[in-house]
Structure 1
Amino acid sequence: MLKLIHGADFHLDAPFAALSPEKARQRRAEQRQLLSRLADLAEEEGADLVLLSGDLLDGGETYQETVEALSHALGQIKAPVFIAPGNHDPYGPRSAYAGTAWPDNVHIFTSVQPEGVELPELGCVVHGAAFTTPQADRSPLMGFSAPRDGRIHLMTLHGDVAGQGRYGPIRPEDIAESGLTYLALGHIHACSGLQQAGETCWAYPGCPEGRGFDETGEKGVLSVTVEDDHAVSARFVPLAGRRYEIVEADVTGKDSAGEALRAVLPPSPSGDCCRILLTGQRSFGAPDLAALTALAQPSYFSVSVRDNTRPLRDLWQRAGEDSLTGLVLRALKGEKELEDRELAARFALAALEHGEDPCP
């Protein structure tokens, strides 16, 4: 049996442009703490291998202290570590991968052509390939087929399954024909869960920590087990120190936006990054977003408030019109025995005016 830790898309030294310069610096420092948590997890899980599938570095501006922290953390792992550089951190003669002295347990793939590293003590072969330019329109799996020699064949790659773009598009058919037991992928920032094509299992772990509101919720890595009969199972392990969350605050029936906002704030500061969306129909004026943001700020590391509300409308204001809408509203208004005339009127207006479901 083999135990693997599969991670990808750390994007160390990302700019965090949406945050203030001070908080962006703090977030970059916190990203480096992910590396210690990765090393601790490998120890806790008793990992035989660690597969890192590209974009460990964001590539815009990489600080030497970050590369040193990465090298140090990977050197603390007692298992072999394999890195397949991605489109944000392609391998090249001037890349951080080429210009750094890496620990003996770290192997970095350097070619677009897959190469294999035999690990006889584990009864497996780890294959991998690298981006050597920021774009690659050729499948890194094209023409690859692992020998059927009874050993466990693994591969770590950065690429886009079923993608049509310029970031290593991989066809599911290529995965099915690869002869691999497990394909460890990077590039997609959402965890895919364990997938299968033919007899080959594959997965994206997603990024280990979100960087924006397109990367919400828990983020982490995969703990993968490969049995002696080549059966594969995978478990998601959260690793993020902070999360991005989008929360809705419904103002319908509330006396103020502040009342709606207080109802969704956490009971104690969460330390996460949050976007609060005000929704529903309001019976008061336009919300003061600056004041509401100040009210929410103590509850989060970073917070923004957006207004998606609509003024409360008089359901019966068009009842006097000489139109189909007016006719329907007059009929509903006259139905004194109708249990919920207002709800019926909302449905009628939504259908007549917009073809939509009614607002609450």
Structure 2
Amino acid sequence: MRFIHCADLHLDSKMTSNLSREQAKERKMEILRTYSRMIDYAKENKIDGIIIAGDLFDTRNISATARNMVKDSIMSNPQIEFYYLKGNHDSDNFFSKLDDIPENLHLFNEEWKTYDCGSISLSGIEIDSTNESTLYNSLVLDNDKYNIVIMHGQIGQINLNAMKNKGIDYLALGHVHEYQNGPIDNRGIYCYSGCLEGRGFDECGAKGFVVLDIDEQKLTAGFSFIPFAYRNLYTIYVDVTGAMTTQDAAAKIEDELAKNPYSSRSLVKIVLVGEVDVDCEINTDFLKDMFEEYFYYEKVYDETKLLINYSDYEKDVSLKGEFIRMVLQSDMSEEKKSEVIRCGIMALSGEEI
């Protein structure tokens, strides 16, 4: 049998950080379409079941569009079993709008619930304050089956040590938004599928879901991560050491982007790093305008450090020298000194701060 393990879809997320109003609306619809494309993938690849390990929705106020898309995807695919465990963002609002729970939609609650599919069993529990201290002792599995266990939470909240020697083969987790996996014991592994689409620059890199392919006779399985996001987010660090002008920095950005040809659909944060001279002029607004046509969304941050030799300004009688000496002799942190000097030099040079 073949299963998709997904989590943290966050359908109906507002997507208002960073993006314009039009882009936020577009991204909201794209996340819904990615969910729909995943269902198409399941049909085309003869997936038997889809495990949603929490945070299907992003808010309790679910739009009719999102609610109907999910309902229709379940009801129009009776050949696929859906296993939905609520996460910390989910509520019962979705179910309250359903006249009947479809036969192929299997739910979980605050006590362990198990669904059997021949030699495969799927067990899940929704963690809350009433069960987090007792849930490990109450988990009882059949060692002669391939056991999938479904939970939502980060490791720490989920005690992996307490899951050892329970007969778990695959622990399908949600809550962490990047793909991760590792051993539980000699028998089983845990896996975070990550989210389907990144929503902010804390969710960079490939996003998608996991396909679990189980041999029902041997009770063994292979699994693979399927990158599936329509758009990916990247943070790109560009070392601009030695640059003296905005044009110098732009050339270094061009060189860095050439090493990894990012899709024009990407959302990109360019972070300038390295050491630059105190007289270096880098205009991040100009750089943002220069590269914004390269990507769907792009922004530029300057995190360079000023290379300041105190002896160069010891006897400098200029206003700039006096200002730099005053800042260097202050009790501010080195990071703050660098920031104040950068702003001061810009002001003295007639630049906007």
How high is the TM-score relative to the length of structure 2? 0.77
AA at the equivalent of 2:194 = G
**Deviation of 1:230 (Å):** 2.5
1:290 correspondence with 2:285 = yes
Aligned pairs (5 A) from 1:203-222: 203-222=191-210
AA at the equivalent of 1:50 = I
Helix, strand or coil: the match of 1:247? strand
- Aligned counterparts of 1:136 and 1:188: Cα–Cα separation in 2: 23
> Which residue does 1:188 correspond to in 2?
176
**Deviation of 1:191 (Å):** 1.1
1:100 correspondence with 2:88 = no
Compared CA separation, residues 268 and 242, structure 1 to 2 (3 A): closer
> Which residue does 1:262 correspond to in 2?
254
> Which residue does 2:11 correspond to in 1?
12
Q: Does the Cα contact within 8 Å between 2:110 and 2:131 map onto a contact in 1?
A: no
Helix, strand or coil: the match of 1:32? helix
> Which residue does 2:348 correspond to in 1?
none
How high is the TM-score relative to the length of structure 1? 0.76
Helix, strand or coil: the match of 2:200? coil
Q: Does the Cα contact within 8 Å between 2:8 and 2:55 map onto a contact in 1?
A: yes
Which piece of structure 1 moves more, 308-317 or 49-58? 308-317
- Structure 2 runs not aligned, ≥5 long: 316-333, 336-353
**Deviation of 1:204 (Å):** 0.9
**Deviation of 1:307 (Å):** 0.6
Q: Once superposed, what is the RMSD of the aligned Cα atoms?
A: 2.8
Helix, strand or coil: the match of 1:160? coil
1:247 correspondence with 2:236 = yes
Compared CA separation, residues 203 and 268, structure 1 to 2 (3 A): closer
* Aligned pairs, number: 307
CA deviation vs aligned residue, 1:156-206 (integer Å, no higher than 9, x gap): 221222x2xxxxx22113322432332211111121135333523321111
CA deviation vs aligned residue, 1:33-88 (integer Å, no higher than 9, x gap): 11122112223432222111010101164212111112222344432111001111
Q: Does the Cα contact within 8 Å between 2:141 and 2:166 map onto a contact in 1?
A: no
**Deviation of 1:318 (Å):** 8.9
Compared CA separation, residues 79 and 293, structure 1 to 2 (3 A): same
> Which residue does 2:161 correspond to in 1?
173
Aligned pairs (5 A) from 1:61-100: 61-77=61-77, 78-90=79-91, 92=92, 95-100=93-98
Compared CA separation, residues 16 and 3, structure 1 to 2 (3 A): same
**Deviation of 1:272 (Å):** 1.0
AA at the equivalent of 1:6 = H
Aligned pairs (5 A) from 1:1-360: 2-18=1-17, 19-59=19-59, 61-77=61-77, 78-90=79-91, 92=92, 95-101=93-99, 102-109=101-108, 111-119=109-117, 122-130=118-126, 138=132, 141-148=135-142, 150-161=144-155, 163=156, 169-227=157-215, 228-254=217-243, 256-265=248-257, 270-283=264-277, 285-313=280-308, 317=312
**Deviation of 1:126 (Å):** 2.1
Identity of aligned residues (%): 26
**Deviation of 1:89 (Å):** 0.2
CA deviation vs aligned residue, 1:105-132 (integer Å, no higher than 9, x gap): 22222x200112233xx4323222235x
Helix, strand or coil: the match of 1:97? helix
Compared CA separation, residues 280 and 43, structure 1 to 2 (3 A): same
Compared CA separation, residues 160 and 144, structure 1 to 2 (3 A): farther
Compared CA separation, residues 126 and 287, structure 1 to 2 (3 A): same
Compared CA separation, residues 26 and 11, structure 1 to 2 (3 A): same
Compared CA separation, residues 33 and 232, structure 1 to 2 (3 A): same
**Deviation of 1:234 (Å):** 1.5
> Which residue does 1:323 correspond to in 2?
none
